[in-house]
Amino acid sequence: MRLADLLAETSVEDLDRLAHDHARADDELARPQLLATIEGVLRSHRFLQEFLVNLQPPAFAILTVLLDAPDYRFATREFREAVVAETDRLCQAIDNHEVLDRDDQIRVYRRVLYQARSNDTLIDPAEAAILGVLRQELKIAQVEHFLIEHHADLREFWRRDAAFIRELHALRSAGIVYEREGFTLLPDDLARGIRQVLGLDMSRPDARRLFGYLSNLELHEALSAIRVSTSGAKDERIERLIANMAQPRVVVRLLGVGRLREVCKEIGAAVSGSKDELVDRIVAHVAADRDIVPAPEPPAAIQEARRLSEERFGMLFSKLRGHELAAILSELELRRWGTKESQVRTLWEAHRSEETLLGALSSADLEAFLRRLGLRSNGSKGDRSQRVIEHFAGASLDDLRETPAVAVVGGGEGGDPTT
């Protein structure tokens, strides 16, 4: 759902709270203007930057679980378990040196972040600016700031029983996360801004698909660049990049221009432009799922009109010989094996008309069939098929059951057969 639609459904009480937080207290605004003002604040990069940087785990997991979920919505009854599991996974990965395993590089940043949190747990604009400069100088990615918050040195500020409820309440109170009809969700049009603030190029499923376009050697080089283990098969390397939150933009930038153009061609994107343009195009193309080739539409169900009942239909085609039945089944790409009865059943379940099925016979086989039935065999192929169908439509069931096919021993074209 879009933010405007979610705000329009907001109760008066919640809207008053949002107005207090996001609108000027001295403004007396009608509801439409108030909704537009709140929406404008929530959509601004500045607000999202200042608000999200002050959240602590498990807020990061709350947001990433929703960003990775279809339509940015997750069943509320299972949401807490998923968020807690993701938060625990990140903490465990950091403790096991599977993520952020370059302590010398991030120790200074972690100590400054600790000091910022230890004052009043909030990061003020001056502290945020200092942390931003440190990230740039120490080559620490934006997303790594949020991962570092999970480090054991910083858990004293957030690791308590009410952590999930506290952070979820903060996100809901700010108008970023909502609950509707049994789902916890993000507004569709806030997802991109939230990703930018968190330093995420795309969802994990999209990143996994993008990394799949790279060679095993290229994945090895990407893992080496972020200083984590490079061993394993291709799938293992991809999962290690995902676990370390390696951003596709950083990984793709390691490729040369020629290779970038090859990737563009493979995903169906334009191959012109500079390296920066190619990198941006690849990331945007995959993030928007434009590399996914839609599955072809299934063919329309065949339901041709028939003239015969199921019983008469069975009588007609049971009088065909084995090679004749096989010819029809093969021509229409139907299952050919089994008993004669099962082959006739396959023809019935194909929902083809009698004329279509008989038309799959060769002219010689159709002529021979007419003669065995004691019918005239002259005329066009369509005329011959109609003659067979009319015979089985008009004769009595008793006659059809009792009269065997005629064995032809003579008779000329168009004449009566002799027996």
Structural domain spans, the chain: 44-200, 205-287, 310-402
pLDDT at 139: 87
Least confident of 70-74, 329-333, 392-396, 414-418: 414-418
Sign of torsion over alpha carbons 24, 30, 33, 36 = positive
Residue 397's pLDDT band (cuts 50, 70, 90): confident
Mean pLDDT of 138-153: 93
Q: For residues 211 and 248, give the distance between their C-alpha atoms in angstroms, rounded to a whole number.
A: 8
Cα-atom radius of gyration of the chain, to the nearest Å?
Answer: 35
In this model, does residue 404 exceed pLDDT 80? no
In this model, does residue 419 exceed pLDDT 90? no
Q: Hey, what's the torsion of the CAs at 258, 263, 267, 270, to 10 degrees?
A: -20
Q: What order of strands is seen across the sheet that includes strand 73-75? A: 73-75, 183-185, 178-180
Length of the chain counted residue by residue: 419
Contacts of 145 (CB under 8 A, 6+ apart): 53, 109, 113, 131, 135, 199
Q: What is the mean pLDDT of the chain?
A: 90
pLDDT at 171: 96
pLDDT at 161: 86
Q: For residues 62 and 87, give the distance between their C-alpha atoms in angstroms, rounded to a whole number.
A: 9
Q: For residues 392 and 20, give the distance between their C-alpha atoms in angstroms, rounded to a whole number.
A: 83
Q: For residues 255 and 275, give the distance between their C-alpha atoms in angstroms, rounded to a whole number.
A: 9
Coil, helix or strand at residue 179 = strand
Least confident of 295-299, 334-338, 347-351, 357-361: 295-299
Q: For residues 419 and 401, give the distance between their C-alpha atoms in angstroms, rounded to a whole number.
A: 19
Q: Environment class of residue 381 by beta-carbon count within 10 Å: exposed (0-12), middle (13-18) or buried (19+)?
A: middle
Q: Hey, what's the torsion of the CAs at 104, 106, 107, 108, to 10 degrees?
A: 110
Query: Are 237 and 216 spatial neighbours (Cβ–Cβ below 8 Å)?
Result: yes
pLDDT at 25: 54
From 282, 117, 313, select the one nearest 207 (Cα to Cα): 282
Query: How many C-beta atoms surround the C-beta of residue 248 within 10 A?
Result: 24
In this model, does residue 23 exceed pLDDT 90? no
Residue 120's pLDDT band (cuts 50, 70, 90): confident
Mean pLDDT of 8-16: 87
pLDDT at 410: 36
In this model, does residue 167 exceed pLDDT 70? yes
pLDDT at 398: 84
Mean pLDDT of 377-405: 86
pLDDT digits (tens, 9 = 90+) for 212-240: 999 999 999 999 988 888 999 999 999 99
Token pair, residue 194, equals 């939230």
Q: How many whole angstroms from its chain centre is CA 179?
A: 23
